[in-house]
Structure 1
């Protein structure tokens, strides 16, 4: 198991439209929450996300559902960097109860690769991306 380094947190209020027929948040929405946290982290650090020439893509993602989320729950999504292997960058995320952080609703594992948008081939991440992964002073807690 790799050590995880906290990068960012984002709070959400569960919306009624996130619920499914079973009266809890639909399983697909968990992926949306995790994505929104990752994008907010990139925006916080002003990483260029215009998709021209290069872009980060999710090459693998999984979610372990631990307990249901229901409306009107308030949640916090935490983003952690775990490690790199070549051009692959590995993240871990937790979806928690905002008011009781010991309650974890789900965990996620995400692998990101930067690509050249013309060729579709993987490339090294831009320097500013490396910098926010590797510089503790820029970690938002």
Structure 2
């Protein structure tokens, strides 16, 4: 049984017709694009947009386990959950569901973000305001 993780947010993405592959379901590459989109939106919303002149996250690793096919039309619900917090890294888990079928998990993705000084090319600590947000949802930050 999968461990319940602290939830940061749930985002919605409308699947586009062109997101399907030749056999009529969501193309595997779109899961990674969707995860990227919700991370960028979440960072924007909490006041940490990507700024190539400052500090911010880079993708350290990512994965996705596909459980069931998603087909068009659908509004995809994707959770942002905290799996692990390190000094400079944040591991997130994402559950993919479809609006109207919130019980079924269609895929489970993971992404590890590493905070860096983009100009210096060196890791830095996750900013304290982000850590505070993580602690507020019960993450061990």
* Fold shared per TM-score above 0.5: yes
CA distance in structure 1 between the partners assigned to 2:116 and 2:85 by the alignment = 16
- Indicate the larger mover: 60-69 or 35-44: 35-44
1:58 aligns with 2:59: yes
Spell out, residue by residue over 1:55-104, the C-alpha distance to the aligned partner (whole angstroms, 9 max, x if none).
20110100000111111022100110122233221111011011111111
- Higher strand proportion: 1
CA distance in structure 1 between the partners assigned to 2:96 and 2:39 by the alignment = 13
Query: How far has the Cα of 1:35 moved from its partner?
Result: 1.3
Counterpart in 2 of 1:126? 127
Does the 8 Å CA contact 2:40/2:49 hold for their aligned counterparts? no
Counterpart in 2 of 1:83? 84
Does the 8 Å CA contact 1:57/1:113 hold for their aligned counterparts? yes
Counterpart in 2 of 1:113? 114
Query: How far has the Cα of 1:127 moved from its partner?
Result: 2.1
CA distance in structure 1 between the partners assigned to 2:100 and 2:50 by the alignment = 32
Q: Secondary structure at the match of 1:100?
A: coil
Does the 8 Å CA contact 1:2/1:83 hold for their aligned counterparts? no
Query: How far has the Cα of 1:5 moved from its partner?
Result: 0.3
Runs of 4+ in structure 1 over 4 Å off: none
CA distance in structure 2 between the partners assigned to 1:108 and 1:102 by the alignment = 17
Counterpart in 1 of 2:26? 25
Give unpaired runs (5+ residues) of structure 1: none
CA distance in structure 2 between the partners assigned to 1:57 and 1:117 by the alignment = 9
CA distance in structure 2 between the partners assigned to 1:35 and 1:115 by the alignment = 17
Does the 8 Å CA contact 2:89/2:126 hold for their aligned counterparts? no
Query: How far has the Cα of 1:119 moved from its partner?
Result: 2.2
